Structures are given as C-alpha cells and as structure tokens.
Amino acid sequence: MATTEPLRRNQAPVRVTAVNDGVWSERPDTLATEEPMEIRVAGPDQEGVQVAVTMRTPGGDYELAAGFLFTEGLMRPEDLRRVAYCDDLDAAEQRYNVVTVTLNRPFDPAVLRRNFYATSSCGICGKAALDDIQVRCAPVGSGPVVAADVVSSLPDKLRAKQKVFERTGGLHAAGLFTADGDLVSLREDVGRHNAVDKVIGEQLMAGGLPLANHILQVSGRISFELVQKAAMAGIPILSAVGAPSSLAVEAGERFGMTVIGFVRDARLNVYTHPERLA
C-alpha cells in the first residue's frame, strides 16, 4: 500500500538573541520545521493530479496525504492502492515534498470543485462546505459513554507525549484515545488540521476506520474543519483545550458529535450531545 517513508528532520537549529531582564545573550535554539507539501492523486495508468498544497511539519507525510484525501471526501478507504514520494522531480530538494496517492480506480479531476490551499494557521474551511460535507458524511454513531474525569485527563496525557513540542514549543497535537483514556495514536504538526489528518490517515492505512469508539483530543481550538474531519472518520467525541467556533458547534450538532472545549484544570464545557458524558 505504501513504500517506506524515510525519516525527515522535524526540527531546525537556529541562533537567537535572548533578552532576559535586560541582559542580552546569544544562544542556540530549536524550531519546528515547516515545509510545503504537494498532494497528488492518480488512478490506474493516470498521471498524478495536484489536489492540494499544505504547509506541514515533515514526518507522517503518507498519513497526511491519505488522511487529507479521505477527510475531504476525495477517496474512500478501499480506494487506496499506494502512497509514495514522487521520484521524477528535477529538483532533488523537492523530492520529499511531493506525495502521490494512487487509487485502484480512475480519479476524475472534475470532482475538484475548488482549489485546495491549506495553511498551517487556518486550513480548509468555510460555511459553503457544510451542506456539501453532510451529503457525503453520515452522522456519527452512538459511540461510547465516557466518564467526565477521563476527558479531563486527556490534555495532560497528550502534552506528556508531545516530544517535538517539548523541544520547540511550536506544534499542535492530535491524540486518538479509547473510551477509557488510553492513547492509541498521537501526531504533531505546525497545522492543527494536519495533525488530525495524520492521525486519521494512519488509521485508514491500517484498516482501522471508522473510529466509532474513540475520542479525539486536540491541543488548540476546535474549528469547523476539525469537526468535519472527525465526522468523516466516524469519531463521536471531539475534545480540545481551547474553544470551539460557532460553526464547529453547528457542525457538531448536525453530525451528532459531542464537542467539548476548555478542557483544563478538571473543568470542561460540553457544547453538543452531552449524553455521551457520564
């Protein structure tokens, strides 16, 4: 299904001038790597078609490409045939920044209703997409009933496993948990939507979808795009340390998803479908 993805540097060394209580000094520092990645799609005997360019942290690129195409409704899990970096690029430095997803069915470029350009700060969103996503995404299942203290524990569990954030302080994270609070998967990225796509893409490539008995915990706020992606994967509970947007709450209501925000210090707010919280 996929060739082996080489390890990529997700951190970059820099020199900084630090000012501490009026004292200036120069010291080494570490930043999270941010690079563009182009996602292409091809069917049998077809040339790859560019679908998206996203700014991301290298690592988990195959998961990101597969997860993005699935959560944007451009492929089904059973469509996936192969994921690989492009090896026909003239510029060697761009080789690992272009990923082609090959399907086992023809890909119709006409399904691309808009040009995808995802940034690390916003991603792909917009109210015009809400009715469209409802057509290709059924409401999530009933899912588990989860104890409130389990949800309250997830941010600390997520933070404890953010290895790159520990060194750089500059990454979002998404963690997939069981209803008992056990960590299944965690991914970090400069883009919150990329981190979610990587988690979902990993499960897609492993044949683990739908995720009907899981909780998705994210490190930032909840936007419409995150609710959309979670709904596509069948995730019934989406939790965050920050606030949801109004459109995220509207989408959560329509998709039958439990949306939880401000999960911190043993407190939380449940915005939609509180029946899943014990």
211: Cα separation from own chain's centroid = 14
> Using CA atoms, how far apart are residues 253 and 244, in angstroms rounded to an integer?
12
For residue 73, is it left (φ>0), alpha (ψ between -120 and 50) or beta?
Answer: left
* CB-count exposure of residue 67 (10 Å: 0-12, 13-18, 19+): buried
Q: Collapse the DSSP code of 123 into the 3-class scheme (helix H, G, I; strand E, B; otherwise coil) and give the result.
A: coil
| pLDDT value at 191 more than 70 | yes
pLDDT of residue 170: 65
Tokens at residue 227, please?
């609710």
Compute how many other C-beta atoms are within 10 angstroms of the C-beta atom of residue 164. Answer: 19
Residue 102 pLDDT class (50, 70, 90 cuts): very high
Give tens-digit pLDDT for 209-220.
999 999 999 999
Tokens at residue 241, please?
């340390």
CA angle 155, 271, 192 (to 5 degrees): 45
- Calculate mean pLDDT across residues 50-73: 94
Q: Which residue among 86, 122, 125, 137 is the active-site one?
A: 122
Exposed e or buried b for every residue in 123-144, given b needs 16+ CB within 10 A?
Answer: bbbeeebbeebeeebeebeebb
Mean pLDDT, all residues of the chain:
87
pLDDT of residue 181: 97
Confirm whether 125 is a catalytic residue: no
Main-chain phi, psi angles of 152, to 5 degrees? -65, -25
- Check: CB of residue 230 under 8 Å from CB of residue 161: no
pLDDT of residue 267: 95
Model confidence, pTM = 0.88
- Given the DSSP bridges, would you call strands 183-189 and 80-85 parallel, antiparallel or unpaired? unpaired
pLDDT of residue 131: 55
Give tens-digit pLDDT for 143-186.
999 999 999 999 999 999 877 655 666 689 999 999 999 999 99
- Tokens 């990225």 belong to which residue? 189
| pLDDT value at 272 more than 60 | yes
- Calculate mean pLDDT across residues 258-271: 96
Q: Can you say whether the dihedral through the CA atoms of 225, 230, 236, 241 is positive or negative?
A: negative
pLDDT of residue 128: 44
> Using CA atoms, how far apart are residues 51 and 41, in angstroms rounded to an integer?
7
- Check: CB of residue 144 under 8 Å from CB of residue 136: no
Residues 112-119: contacts with CB under 8 Å, at least 24 apart: 112/49, 112/51, 112/74, 116/51, 116/52, 116/53, 116/72, 117/52, 117/53, 117/54, 118/52, 118/53, 118/54, 118/55, 118/68, 118/191, 118/193, 118/194, 119/54, 119/55, 119/191
Tokens at residue 65, please?
């490409």
Domain 148-276 fold: Cytidine Deaminase; domain 2 (3.40.140)
